[in-house]
């Protein structure tokens, strides 16, 4: 199914100021959650960070201030979201710290714009939840040449536990004080995956999969770690 990001009504919605809602809302909550998680995993200001699926810079607005100037990079499927985030969500000072050339639109995880830049860390928040398995493998393959050895990609996903039939819909567990739960599927968006599925994505690659688990996501997404071993 084509991404809704390509639909004219989506583009009109974000041009009319709906970009925060278009990426799922929770603007302040999710931005802070990602930054605090990465800091707990060792993110330092001098690190170079890639934000896969960065959208209108919900997390990027905070990361640009935390990281040293020019150390944040982002890619997204939507050029419109990148433009709106850069022009509307960043301050003049933040734009001085983040060149527009550090953001690129791609629907195939094309990271050649990085050239020789080597990344210390990457995050893909609510990206793998919308991807078939082969697209996850493709993401890992495209990212690998740009990662320093031993460095991680942290990616959220919707977990299908072993006791559940993976081919059946699954209502994701969330705490009672959070929003309505998301229902995930095997062969349509939003996708759920077993741990074996994600481990399989790393076979015959330079990546090592590690389950991290709960990290406080309000819609029940779990966190996975993929560590580049060179």
Domain boundaries, the chain: 26-228
**In sequence order, what are the beta bridge partners of 84?**
none
* Span 35-49, pLDDT tens digits: 999 999 999 999 999
Asked if the model's pLDDT at residue 175 lies above 90, the reply is no
CA 58 to CA 85: how far, in whole Å?
Answer: 8
Residue-level pLDDT at 146? 98
* Span 55-65, pLDDT tens digits: 999 999 999 99
Show Cβ contacts of residue 151 under 8 Å, excluding neighbours closer than 6 positions.
119, 120, 121, 122, 227, 228
Asked if the model's pLDDT at residue 129 lies above 70, the reply is yes
Tokens 């939003």: give the residue: 190
Residue-level pLDDT at 1? 45
CA 31 to CA 58: how far, in whole Å?
Answer: 6
* Span 194-208, pLDDT tens digits: 999 999 999 999 999
The DSSP code for 74 is: E
Show Cβ contacts of residue 92 under 8 Å, excluding neighbours closer than 6 positions.
none
Distances (CA, A) of 226 to 27, 74, 133, 199, 206: 26, 18, 15, 9, 10
CA 156 to CA 89: how far, in whole Å?
Answer: 24
> CATH second-level architecture of 26-228?
3-Layer(aba) Sandwich (3.40)
């Amino acid at each position: 199914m084509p991404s809704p990001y390509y639909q004219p009504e989506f583009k009109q919605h974000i041009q009319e100021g709906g970009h925060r809602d278009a990426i799922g809302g929770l603007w302040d909550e999710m931005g802070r959650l990602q930054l605090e998680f990465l800091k707990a995993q060792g993110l330092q200001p001098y690190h170079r960070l890639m934000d896969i699926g960065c959208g209108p810079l919900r997390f990027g607005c905070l990361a640009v201030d935390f990281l040293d100037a020019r150390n944040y990079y982002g890619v997204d499927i939507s050029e419109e979201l990148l433009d709106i985030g850069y022009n509307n969500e960043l301050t003049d000072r933040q734009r001085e710290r983040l060149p527009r050339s550090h953001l690129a639109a791609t629907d195939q995880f094309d990271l050649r714009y990085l050239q020789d830049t080597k990344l210390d860390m990457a995050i893909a928040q609510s990206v793998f939840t919308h991807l078939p398995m082969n697209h996850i493998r493709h993401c890992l393959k495209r990212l690998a040449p740009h990662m320093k050895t031993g460095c991680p990609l942290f990616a959220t996903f919707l977990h299908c536990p072993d006791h559940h039939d993976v081919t059946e819909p699954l209502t994701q567990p969330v705490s009672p004080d959070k929003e309505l739960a998301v229902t995930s599927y095997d062969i349509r968006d939003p996708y759920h995956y077993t741990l074996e599925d994600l481990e399989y994505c790393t076979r015959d690659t330079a990546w090592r999969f590690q389950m991290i688990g709960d990290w406080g996501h309000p819609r029940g997404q779990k966190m996975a770690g993929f560590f580049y071993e060179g």
